[in-house]
Amino acid sequence: MKRLFCLILLLASATWRLEAQNPGWPVPDDQKGKICLVKFTPDMVKQGEAIYMKNCQSCHGIPTKKNFAAIVPSPGDLSESKVGSQKDGELFYRITTGKVPMPEFRNILTEDERWSVISFVRTYHKGYKQPDPEKLAGAAGKRIRLSMAYDTVKKKIMVKAVELSKDGPQPAKGAEVVIFIQRYFGNMQLADPKPTSEYGYAGFDWPQDLPGDKRGNVIVTARVNDPTGSMQEALVKDTLTIGVPTDKPSLTDTRAMWSTRDKAPVWVILTYTLAVLVVWYFIIYIILAVLDIRKIKQV
């Protein structure tokens, strides 16, 4: 009873602190404790920096430079202590869910990528110590393994989720699967998330008009991204030759009025050159003839 009371008090104070810092953006308690399951490494920080510069920097600016965007609510500089004092789980939740105008990165970045961004931001927080992932091993939800294949008859991408439990692999039922197709500036979600069937399968209709590369290759990612945390994130990425082969010619391939000199329409080059040659032929002819006047002596 006493322990329970203490816990409530602790939670209340924690919530109060949070409210003071981020009015209107509470993080559910069960999410605060979430931690990264691997140790941050320099490689991870580097990856996080690249992702940060691409996805976060336009609003948050470069940490410590205080060059964040002047919008309301203010994005703020992520090196500040009010960010530093937040738990990893809180940062992770905020990145994941977003809140207008901050985008929701759930479907844009994988969990690993989100953690790498946190690992990068943490390098600006003095005195930060990463919670030891070892302690939480096993307590982080079910481990899932995904596999993916294209069903040419049904024209569907079939994803199979397998739970890796102590008793050996079993079909994972009810895992929320999302499919993404890699595009130049980010991953494109194919359809709404679908739970796996009791046999561990989820099928996604493949649009027959989606462009692939020259050979029709598309890079497809399937992900289990359970918001409740009962399952660990699982991911499978594969190149499938199921897109429409797309090899559009360069826009400057044809001769045109607006093209470069080398690609001028032939009739323009011919007309211009011909007109110039004809007129100047006569002009030079006349100049030469006139110069001949000097040589003619009176008989």
Partner 1 sequence: MDENTVNNRDEQDPSKSSRRNFMKNIGLLGAGVAAGAGALYSGDIFEKKKAATGESKVLLTQDNKLVEVDSLEMKVLAKNPEKLKLQEGREGIPGKRWVMVIDLSKCRNARRCISACQDAHQLKPEQYHMNTLQMQDSPGTAPYNMPKNCQHCDNPPCVAVCPVDATYKRGDGIVLIDNVRCIGCRFCMAACPYSARIFNWTTPKDADKHSGETYNVELNVPQKIGTVSKCLFSADRCREGKLPYCVSACPNGVYYFGDENEDAVTNGTTKETTRLSKLLRDNGAYQLMPELGTKPRVYYLPPKNRLFPFEPSTD
Partner 2 sequence: MEKIVNDLSHHIRLNKGFFIWMGFLVLAFLACLYAYTRQLQYGLGVAGVRDYISWGLYISNFVFFVASSLIGMLISAVLGLIGFKWVHPITRIAETIAVAFAAVAGLVIVMDMGRPERLAYVFMYARFQSPILWDVTVITTYFVISLLLLFLPMIPDMAVLYKRFSKLPSWLKPVYKVLSLNWTDHPEQNRIIHRSVYILLILIIPAALSIHTVTSWLFALTVRPGWDSTIFGPYFVSGAFVAGSAAVIIAMYFFRRNYKLQDYLTDMHFNNMGKVLVLVAFVYLYFNINEYLVPGYKLKRADALHLHELMAGNFAVMFWLVQVGGLLIPIILLLFRRMRRPMPLTVISVAVVIGAWFKRYLIVVPTMAHPFLPVQHVPENFKVYTPTLIEIAITLLSFILVLIIITLISKFFPVIPVVETAKDKGLDPLKSIES
Note the residues at the interface with partner 1 (CB under 8 A). 53-55, 58-59, 69, 71, 101, 103-105, 107-108, 181, 183-189, 209-211, 213-214, 246-248, 250-253, 256-261, 276, 280, 284, 287-288, 291
- Quick note: the x/- pattern for partner 2 over 234-273, rule CB under 8 A, is -----------------------xxxxx--xx--xx--x-
Closer of 8 and 274 to partner 2 (Cβ): 274
Sign (positive or negative) of CA dihedral 116, 44, 34, 65: negative
Residue 276 CB, nearest approach to partner 2 (Å): 6
How many Å apart are CA 93 and CA 108, to the nearest integer? Answer: 14
DSSP string, 96-142: HH-BTTBPP-TTTS-HHHHHHHHHHHHTTSTT--PPPHHHHTT-S-B
Closer of 84 and 103 to partner 1 (Cβ): 103
> What are 218's strand-pairing partners?
240
Q: Is 153 in the site for partner 2 (CB under 8 A)?
A: no
Closer of 213 and 238 to partner 1 (Cβ): 213
Cβ burial of 210 (10 Å; 0-12, 13-18, 19+) is: middle
Residue 59 CB, nearest approach to partner 1 (Å): 7
Residue 153 binds what, of partner 1, partner 2, none (CB under 5 to 8 Å, by partner type)? Answer: none
Residue 266 CB, nearest approach to partner 2 (Å): 10
Spatial contact of 213 and 202, defined as CB atoms under 8 Å apart: no
| CA neighbours closer than 13 Å in the CB half-sphere of residue 18 | 19
Closer of 139 and 291 to partner 2 (Cβ): 291
How many Å apart are CA 171 and CA 48, to the nearest integer? Answer: 33
